[in-house]
């Protein structure tokens, strides 16, 4: 029996207008999210990860952005929704945990008002019920003395506390899907671990699907069930988390994993990936987009029109350059 799909992206493109032309930042992405699953999307900054999240949430200015393809949720393509229809699911059935809680929270509103806002919009609760739910949510995300915190403003809280408030806003209406965009970037390691544990606990409780966007592969190893590796707007590898860490195939994935410091290699130099992610304007639109950063690999190893190949059951990799890839120091 096929598993129920919570969210399905089909041939998804998001292009930004630069001067008079549109350039794809998300280019032909096909992904599915299932209940009780954490799907991690990883890659360097500028690969299109956050753009993918904001596309699902419908947070783009369509004067400067062109979106095509489908995002299927509850049998409907939500990309066709107008703003009012989007507002019915945004914050209700789909919650988002933003990267920087200080800029995501309103500095002029008390914490209780910001959490209550989603409840006013998506539920029929009375004022008393809403306040009880706000207190319950703050307790749920590990905030002590919630009654006092409810009355405070964002600047009065620490970074970890603000991130907990953001999570409680995302959870307020028990969403089916949570999109977490770098949820632990600005936090120290101890608080980071607490936030990740909290997200997993809540997910188990609500059977939600989580899309976790991060460049921290340690977080991926701890949290994820499946991993999609993104480079220059494309998915270059997709696999189960254990499979990806044990047997990475695409040169980009192998380069990312190779650049993590290892505890038993104190005297070895860190691997550095040559070059950088190309800008939207300079992005090669044909052939393997990672090819310029592995110049020692002959052109004949790459596909002219790259495709995702199922190298092993459930393990997909783009282009054919992975088959004989070696690092420059191995050649």
All structural domains of the chain with their residue ranges: 7-224, 248-318
User: pLDDT tens-digit profile of 137-147?
Assistant: 999 888 999 99
Q: Is the pLDDT of residue 63 over 50?
A: yes
Mean pLDDT, range 191-199, rounded to an integer:
86
Choose between 223 and 185: higher pLDDT: 223
Mean pLDDT, range 252-259, rounded to an integer:
93
Mean pLDDT, range 324-331, rounded to an integer:
87
User: pLDDT tens-digit profile of 88-106?
Assistant: 999 999 999 988 888 899 9
Which pLDDT score, from 0 to 100, does residue 1 have?
Answer: 41
Report how far residue 90's alpha carbon sits from residue 180's, in angstroms, rounded to the nearest whole number.
14
Residue 233: pLDDT band by 50, 70, 90 thresholds? very high
Binning the chain into helix, strand and coil, the percentages to the nearest 5 are 35, 25, 40
**Is 0.85 surpassed by the pTM of this model?**
yes
CB 202 within 8 A of CB 208: yes
For 228, the enclosing helix (H) or strand (E) is: strand 226-231
Q: Which of 184, 236, 176, 230 is nearest to 37 (CA)?
A: 176
Q: Is the pLDDT of residue 265 over 70?
A: no
Mean pLDDT, range 282-303, rounded to an integer:
94
Residue 84: pLDDT band by 50, 70, 90 thresholds? very high
Q: Which of 53, 92, 51 is nearest to 74 (CA)?
A: 92
Q: Is the pLDDT of residue 319 over 70?
A: yes
Angle between helices 127-140 and 159-171 (to 10 degrees): 130
41 Cβ contact list (under 8 Å, min separation 6) = 49, 52, 211, 212, 213, 214, 227, 228, 230
Tell me the average pLDDT of the chain. 92
Tell me yes or no: is domain 7-224 CATH 2.60.40.640: no
180 Cβ contact list (under 8 Å, min separation 6) = 96, 97, 199, 210, 211, 212, 213
Mean pLDDT, range 97-121, rounded to an integer:
93
Residue 329: pLDDT band by 50, 70, 90 thresholds? confident
Q: What is the largest CA-CA distance in the chain?
A: 69
Which pLDDT score, from 0 to 100, does residue 240 have?
Answer: 97
Which pLDDT score, from 0 to 100, does residue 330 have?
Answer: 82
Q: Which of 317, 185, 191, 321 is nearest to 243 (CA)?
A: 317
Identify the weakest region by mean pLDDT among 72-81, 151-160, 199-208: 199-208
Beta bridge partners of 23: 16
């Amino acid at each position: 029996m096929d598993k129920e799909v919570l969210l399905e992206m089909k041939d998804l493109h998001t292009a930004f207008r630069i001067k008079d032309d549109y350039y794809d930042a998300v280019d032909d992405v096909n992904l599915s999210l299932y209940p009780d699953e954490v799907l991690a999307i990883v890659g360097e900054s500028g690969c299109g990860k956050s753009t993918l999240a904001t596309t699902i949430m419908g947070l783009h200015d369509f004067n400067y952005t062109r979106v095509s393809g489908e995002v299927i949720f509850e049998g409907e393509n939500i990309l066709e929704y107008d703003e009012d229809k989007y507002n019915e699911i945004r914050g209700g059935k789909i919650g988002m945990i933003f990267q920087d809680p200080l800029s995501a929270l309103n500095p002029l509103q008390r914490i209780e008002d910001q959490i209550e806002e989603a409840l006013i919009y998506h539920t029929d609760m009375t004022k008393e019920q809403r306040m009880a739910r706000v207190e319950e949510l703050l307790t749920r995300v590990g905030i002590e003395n919630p009654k006092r915190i409810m009355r405070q403003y964002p600047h009065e809280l620490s970074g970890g506390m603000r991130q907990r408030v953001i999570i409680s806003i995302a959870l307020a209406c028990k969403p089916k899907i949570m999109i977490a965009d770098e949820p632990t970037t600005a936090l120290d390691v101890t608080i980071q671990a607490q936030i990740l544990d909290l997200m997993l606990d809540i997910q188990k409780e609500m059977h939600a699907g989580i899309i976790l966007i991060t460049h921290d592969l340690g977080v991926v190893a701890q949290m994820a069930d499946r991993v999609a590796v993104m480079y220059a707007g494309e998915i270059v590898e997709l696999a189960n988390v254990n499979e990806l860490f044990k047997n990475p195939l695409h040169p980009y994935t192998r380069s990312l994993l190779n650049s993590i410091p290892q505890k038993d290699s104190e005297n070895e130099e860190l691997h550095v990936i040559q070059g950088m992610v190309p800008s939207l304007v300079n992005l090669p639109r044909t052939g393997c987009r990672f090819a310029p950063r592995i110049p020692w690999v002959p052109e004949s190893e790459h596909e002219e029109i790259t495709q995702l190949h199922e190298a092993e059951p459930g393990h997909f990799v783009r282009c054919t350059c992975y088959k004989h890839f070696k690092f420059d120091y191995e050649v």
